[in-house]
Amino acid sequence: MKNILVPIGSSKNAASHLQYAVDFAKEFGAKVYVVQVYNVYTKAGTMIKIDHIIEKDSREYLKSHVDKINKKGVEVITRTLKGKLIDTLELACKAANIDLILIEPRTNSIKDEVYLGKTSGKIIKQMQIPALIVPEGYVFKPISKVLMALKSAIIKKEKVLNPLKMIKTQFDSIVDLLLVKTTYYSEGDFEISDELNSLVSSTIQSENPTTYQGVLEHYKSNKADMLCVVRRNRGFFIKKWEKNTILKKDFSSTLPVLVLSGLK
């Protein structure tokens, strides 16, 4: 894991989130790319574009946050990027060979009932780069134990488990696998590949309406430091991904959540 992207919004948690990103990156010897995406605006009633003003303000905003943190020798690169959020971030990820995106649950929303705000939810829902959702105010600590929750263990994509492998190797983490039998269960879903089996210390099977409900049943007794789930069309967040905003009543986590790209 060599390159980590951190999109920064206007939340009051931005500096804390950036410090976590730097602490996490230091463990891997990775670079941190801190970015803010802005769109092109025209001043109302005129033909004067004000995007150069926004770009300047954005650069100063990023610098102010970087100045607040302890970089601990980590290379931190700031960039202001113009364009549509997802398209621009995808181009940035490709250009910088990004391995992981670290996001805040709420980059702009101040509503307490919101877990993933519109921007964060859009990144999780629409991008295929692995992401780590870091709870607000969460202080970095070594990841000793990971709970990985799946409704299907079938893996067809190459390298999809790489972020989990890197974390396990770096921290000598224990990975426990939770297989949740939902109404969408198909024969063979619980057949564990050699690749996945090599990462897992123990396997638990559960039967619940959704993968998330299976997690709720087991994560406290598991005492994990991180939850690992998979992005898929009808995967962990299921209907919660029909809208970009995800409410705490539908899903919330006090742990960092590693979201892998789809296994199939």
Return the domain boundaries, the chain: 3-133, 145-255
The reported pLDDT for the residue numbered 30 is 97
Q: Are 7 and 101 in contact (CB under 8 A)?
A: yes
CA distance 47 to 208: 57
Q: Look at the alpha carbons of 129, 132, 133, 134 in this order and tell me if their dihedral is positive or negative.
A: negative
Task: Evaluate if residue 6 carries a pLDDT over 50.
Answer: yes
* Residue 261: predicted pLDDT: 81
| Residue 23 pLDDT | 97
For 67, the token pair is 């100045």
- This prediction has a pTM of 0.84
Least confidently predicted of 106-110, 216-220, 250-254: 106-110
Judge whether 215 and 82 are in contact, CB under 8 Å: no
Region 145-255: CATH code: 3.40.50
3-133 and 145-255 agree in CATH topology: yes
Report the distance separating Cα 114 and Cα 108, nearest Å: 11
Residue bearing the bigger pLDDT, 107 or 196: 196
In Å, how far from its chain's centre is CA 242?
18
**DSSP states of the chain:** --EEEEE--S-TTHHHHHHHHHHHHHHHT-EEEEEEEE---B-TTSS-B-HHHHHHHHHHHHHHHHTTS--TT--EEEEEEES-HHHHHHHHHHHTT--EEEE-S-SS---TTEEE-HHHHHHHHH--S-EEE--TTPPP----EEEEEES-----STTTTHHHHHHHHHHT-EEEEEEEE-TT--TTTT---HHHHTT-SEEEEEE-SSHHHHHHHHHHHHT-SEEEEE--TTSTTGGGGSSS-EETTT---SS-EEEEPP--
Whether the pLDDT of residue 233 is over 80: the answer is: no
CATH tag, 3-133: 3.40.50.620
pLDDT (average), residues 61-81? 89
| pLDDT tier for residue 253 given thresholds of 50, 70 and 90 | low
Average pLDDT of the residues in 33-56 = 68
Mean pLDDT for all residues in the chain: 82
Q: Residue 183 pLDDT more than 80?
A: yes
Q: Does residue 72 have a pLDDT over 90?
A: yes
Least confident among 43-52, 97-106, 130-139, 217-226: 43-52
Mean pLDDT of 33-51: 66
Report how far residue 246's alpha carbon sits from residue 151's, in angstroms, rounded to the nearest whole number: 20
Q: 117: how many CB neighbours lie within 10 A of its CB?
A: 22
> Residue 100 — very low, low, confident or very high, per pLDDT cuts 50/70/90?
very high
Cα 264 to its chain centre, rounded Å, is 19
- What is residue 235's predicted lDDT score, i.e. its pLDDT? 47
What is the mean pLDDT of the segment spanning 3-8?
Answer: 93
Residue pair 34/6 in contact (Cβ under 8 Å)? The answer is yes
Q: What is the pLDDT of residue 94?
A: 93
- Residue 117 pLDDT: 66
Question: What's residue 252's pLDDT?
Answer: 53
pLDDT of 180 strictly over 70: yes
Q: pLDDT confidence of 136, banded at 50, 70, 90?
A: confident
- The confidence score (pLDDT) of residue 44 equals 54
